[in-house]
């Protein structure tokens, strides 16, 4: 079998099930008793000869491996990448060489700052790391959901990470950027400010890993069969659009369901609705390297899509959950230097540092040099070399030699030529003096931060300003807050004034006029939306008006929405509707929309139920679509929200509030369509945010 014929299932060839099997020791000896240790008499001491007891405890004591220093918390999934638009003119990468070529993948999404047990919905950048098991070996695209990074040179990474991690004295706060050491660092390193704008934006609060973009961040290099190079930036674009949560909601979700993003990915895949992303590339011919007002090697810069458009070359669908979290998601080992022929590096000093760091990390995390033999890391391409031994060696090499050159084994494994798929590093002329000095072309730290700010809609700008006020409000040292506000004045004076005002600081002078440029592609305001996989909470009680409700539910479900009936009691409601979950076991923050069906008795009971009113009020506050039918309209009207959004009758779509007061005139279909449209719109920030008791 050629390596190209091997499939994703091959990665699971070490799966073990225990059905119909007997409990054994590690040596395969069957075990009779595992609840009592071997003791001298019923109340005497335990015997050291109890090998089963000792093995069980020893294995337990050694279960943990070091969590990742960064990106400790994550979720993984398998899937397939399919090339849709081959680009052999710029890269000889085999997995991008032919339309329809399929390559198995494993993706791990992650948060960055928190420990393994931290909550999913914290304000943070997200990891988006993809391992392509290509026919020519593994290729890892180890990206994030922001297109830029905090620092320009990898030598600063330990400083940055120490600053963002909890304060060293007391390990507080967990998974939060709102504390002194991070903002101290930021205030002293203005190169961070562009990424900080992203971190304060809604991009740092993704609704789902399924609604999140991914970026390779660095400028990489494609190389074609003739050895010609082309600069490339990688982008993943989610088919469902890029959508976020709101800050207040993320805080509540962190308590109600700390696994919110992991669960969402898992559930979507289990229900056959795994996420889909397009892979886009921005290509820059080498001749154009110096045609930008920033340096392509500077990872704190984007290439605006309006300047170099995205070319979509493939799509990725994630459709299989791992079988075992530890074996797969925890042990997966990514490395930026895992490249295949056709993909090469640039001299971006951040990328160069990463090419050192990931292998080093894997050696300590996975206990030795044989981690590439773990099933999730093992290439589907065949592996033959003279590397030997070390902890955890699984292969039984039968070759009589372990060196090159050799004649005893006929020179095998033999060297390959590039035409046989051998990797050849890009030929690049480099000369210069040995220095520690940043290129002056890396000096502009503010222009793109301003570009990002200018590209935001009103509500996105408001969220950013609020985030700065929150984060800096948690910073105890006033001189740090002041220094950050001074940097903001170089980004946009209006932003700096707003933040300064909120913090009770003086507004710095307006010394850096805003350049006024924007990149519309950066805003989340005009993202494509869909009802598919959106979660709708249906608030009901005994006496619910089942007919109209079923009609609307059928319409929403046929479009892929996940509707759950929540009621004060489990089972079936009088009226014949099946209850999916108890009202109190969930919360409105765990849904994308809330629907209140009619039925006088049902509404009467919900009216007296604080939890139900809270669903409505919170959903409204978080700018989510609200639907109400018949008597349900009254309940929405009585909730502590701004009634200006309700009309007496008929179809109203005022900023995502959709009501149908009377079901007599057969307008249910139109109601369902309007509600679906509101759900597809994700959030309705044009709604005046009423003061709602939280
Ligand atoms: Fe990482 N990074 N990183 N990073 N990174 C790690 O590797 C590092 C950077 C990213 O799901 C570590 O296996 C350095 C940028 C992701 O397993 C470590 C520098 C980007 C993941 C490491 C960076 C990333 C990591 C920790 C600056 C986006 C999770 C555990 C030079 C393009 C991968 C591990 C997974 C993980 C080092 C900067 C993305 C310590 C030194 C920029 C998605 O090796």
User: The whole model's pTM is what?
Assistant: 0.96
Segment holding 254, helix H or strand E: helix 247-256
pLDDT, position 443: 97
Cα–ligand 1 centroid distance for 42 (angstroms): 54
Helix, strand or coil, per DSSP, at residue 619: helix
> Atom 6 (ligand 1): residue with closest C-alpha?
70
Nearest protein CA to atom 30 of ligand 1, as residue? 68
Cα–Cα distance for residue pair 197/200, rounded to 1 Å: 5
What pLDDT, on the 0 to 100 scale, is given for residue 10?
Answer: 72
Task: List, by residue range, all CATH 1.20.1370.20 domains of the chain.
Answer: 446-522
Residue 217, phi then psi, degrees to nearest 5: 70, -65
CATH placement of domain 39-373: 2.40.180.10
Give 386 Cα–ligand 1 centroid separation in angstroms: 29
Contacts of 682 (CB under 8 A, 6+ apart): 207, 241, 243, 527, 529, 592
Query: Which residue puts its alpha carbon closest to atom 38 of ligand 1?
Result: 354
> Where along the chain do the CATH 2.40.180.10 domains lie?
39-373
Q: Which ligand 1 atom is the nearest neighbour of the CA of 68?
A: 30
User: Among 66, 67, 69, 71, which residue has the most ligand 1 atoms within 8 Å of its CB, making it the best to mutate?
Assistant: 71
CB atoms within 10 A of CB 509: 10
CATH number of 535-680: 3.40.50.880
* 622 included as an active-site residue: no
* Superfamily (CATH) of domain 446-522: Catalase, four-helical domain (1.20.1370.20)
CA distance 658 to 656: 6
- Cβ–Cβ contacts within 10 Å for residue 295, how many? 21
Q: How far is the CA of 168 from the centre of ligand 1 (A)?
A: 21
Give per-residue pLDDT as tens, 656-691. 999 998 887 779 999 999 999 999 999 999 875 443
Torsion angle defined by CA atoms of residues 514, 516, 520 and 524, in that order, rounded to the nearest 10 degrees: 30
Ligand 1 atom, smallest distance to 353 CA: 31
Q: Coil, strand, or helix at residue 387?
A: coil
The count of other CB atoms within 10 Å of the CB of residue 576 is 10
Q: Which residues, judged by CB distance below 6 Å to any ligand atom, belong to the binding site of ligand 1?
A: 68-71, 74, 108, 110, 127, 129, 142-144, 149, 154, 157, 217, 299, 332, 334, 350, 353-354, 357-358, 361
Shortest-distance Cα residue to atom 32 of ligand 1: 143
Q: Which two tokens stand for residue 133?
A: 């098991």
Shortest-distance atom of ligand 1 to CA 76: 11
CA distance 164 to 158: 10
Task: Flag residues of the chain having pLDDT under 70.
Answer: 1-9, 642-654, 688-694
Supply the residue whose CA is at minimum distance from atom 22 of ligand 1. Answer: 358
- In this prediction, residue 3 carries a pLDDT of 46
pLDDT confidence of residue 13: 73
Q: What is the DSSP secondary-structure string of 191-255?
A: GGHHHHHHHHSGGGSBS-GGG--EE--S-EEEE-TT--EEEEEEEEEETT---B--HHHHHHHHH
Contact 336, 354 (CB under 8 A): yes
Residues 285, 289, 293, 294, CA torsion sign: positive
Residue 73 CA to ligand 1 centre (angstroms):
13
> Which listed residue (52, 138, 144, 335) is catalytic?
144
CA 100, distance to chain mean position in Å, is: 26
Confirm whether 162 is a catalytic residue. Answer: no
Cα(151) to centroid(ligand 1), Å: 13
> How far does the centroid of ligand 1 lie from the alpha carbon of residue 70, in Å?
7
Q: Which atom belonging to ligand 1 lies closest to the Cα atom of 144? A: 28
At 327, list the tokens: 């074996």
């Amino acid at each position: 079998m050629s390596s190209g014929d091997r499939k994703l299932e091959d990665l699971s060839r070490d799966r073990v099930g225990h059905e119909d099997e007997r409990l054994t020791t590690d040596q395969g000896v069957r075990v009779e008793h595992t609840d009592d240790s071997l003791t001298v008499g019923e109340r005497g001491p335990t015997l050291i000869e109890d090998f089963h007891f000792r093995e069980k405890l020893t294995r337990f004591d050694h279960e943990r491996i070091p969590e990742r220093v960064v990106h400790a918390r994550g979720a993984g999934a398998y899937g397939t990448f399919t090339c849709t638009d081959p680009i052999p003119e710029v890269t000889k990468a085999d997995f991008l060489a032919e339309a329809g070529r399929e390559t198995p993948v494993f993706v791990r999404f992650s948060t960055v700052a928190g420990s393994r047990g931290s909550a999913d919905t914290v304000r943070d950048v997200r990891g988006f790391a993809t391992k392509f098991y290509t026919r020519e070996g593994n290729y890892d695209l180890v990206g994030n959901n922001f297109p830029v990074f905090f620092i320009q040179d990898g030598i600063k990474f330990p400083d940055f990470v120490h600053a963002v991690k909890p304060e060293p004295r007391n390990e507080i706060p967990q998974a939060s950027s709102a504390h002194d050491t991070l903002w101290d660092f930021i205030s002293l390193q203005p190169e961070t400010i562009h990424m900080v704008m992203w971190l304060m934006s809604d991009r740092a609060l993704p609704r789902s890993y399924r609604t999140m973009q991914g970026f390779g961040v660095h400028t990489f290099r494609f190389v074609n069969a003739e050895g010609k190079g082309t600069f490339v930036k990688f982008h993943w674009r989610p088919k469902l659009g890029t959508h976020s949560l709101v800050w207040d909601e993320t805080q509540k979700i962190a308590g109600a369901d700390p696994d919110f993003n992991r669960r969402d990915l898992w559930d979507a895949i289990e229900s056959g609705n795994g996420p889909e992303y397009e892979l886009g590339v921005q290509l820059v011919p080498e001749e154009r390297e110096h045609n930008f007002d920033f340096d392509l090697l500077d990872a704190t810069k984007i290439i605006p899509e309006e300047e170099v458009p995205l070319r979509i070359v493939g799509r990725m669908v994630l459709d299989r959950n791992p079988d075992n979290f530890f074996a797969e998601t925890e042990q997966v080992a990514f490395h930026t230097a895992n490249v295949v022929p056709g993909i090469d590096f640039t001299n971006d000093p951040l990328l160069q540092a990463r090419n050192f760091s990931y292998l080093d990390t894997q050696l300590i995390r996975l206990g030795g040099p044989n981690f590439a033999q773990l099933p999730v890391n093992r290439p589907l391409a065949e592996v033959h070399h003279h590397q030997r031994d070390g902890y955890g060696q699984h292969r039984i090499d039968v070759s009589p030699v372990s060196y090159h050159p050799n004649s005893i084994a006929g020179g095998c494994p033999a060297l390959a030529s590039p035409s046989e798929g051998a990797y050849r590093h890009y030929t690049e002329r480099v000369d210069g003096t040995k220095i520690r000095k940043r290129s002056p072309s890396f000096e502009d730290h503010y222009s793109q931060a301003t570009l990002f700010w200018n590209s935001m809609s009103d509500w996105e700008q408001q969220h950013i300003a609020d985030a700065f006020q929150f984060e800096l409000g948690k910073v105890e040292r006033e001189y740090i807050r002041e220094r950050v506000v001074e940097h903001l004045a170089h980004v946009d004076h209006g932003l700096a004034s707003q933040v300064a005002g909120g913090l009770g600081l003086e507004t710095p002078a307006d010394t850096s006029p805003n350049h006024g440029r924007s990149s519309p592609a950066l805003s989340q305001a005009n993202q494509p939306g869909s009802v598919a996989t959106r979660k709708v909470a249906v608030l009901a009680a005994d006496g619910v008006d089942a007919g109209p409700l079923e009609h609307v539910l059928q319409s929403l479900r046929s479009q892929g929405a996940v509707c759950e009936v929540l009621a004060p009691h489990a089972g079936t409601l009088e009226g014949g509707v099946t209850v999916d979950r108890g009202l109190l076991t969930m919360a409105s923050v765990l849904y994308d929309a809330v629907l209140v069906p009619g039925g006088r008795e049902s509404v009467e009971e919900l009216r007296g139920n604080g939890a139900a009113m809270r669903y409505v009020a919170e959903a409204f506050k978080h700018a989510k679509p609200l639907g109400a039918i018949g008597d349900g309209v009254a309940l929405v009207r009585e909730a502590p929200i701004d009634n200006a959004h309700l009309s007496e009758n008929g179809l109203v779509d005022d900023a995502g509030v959709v009501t149908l007061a009377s079901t007599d005139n057969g307008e249910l279909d139109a109601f369902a369509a309007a509600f679906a449209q509101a759900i597809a719109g994700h959030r309705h920030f044009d709604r005046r945010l009423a003061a709602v008791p939280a």
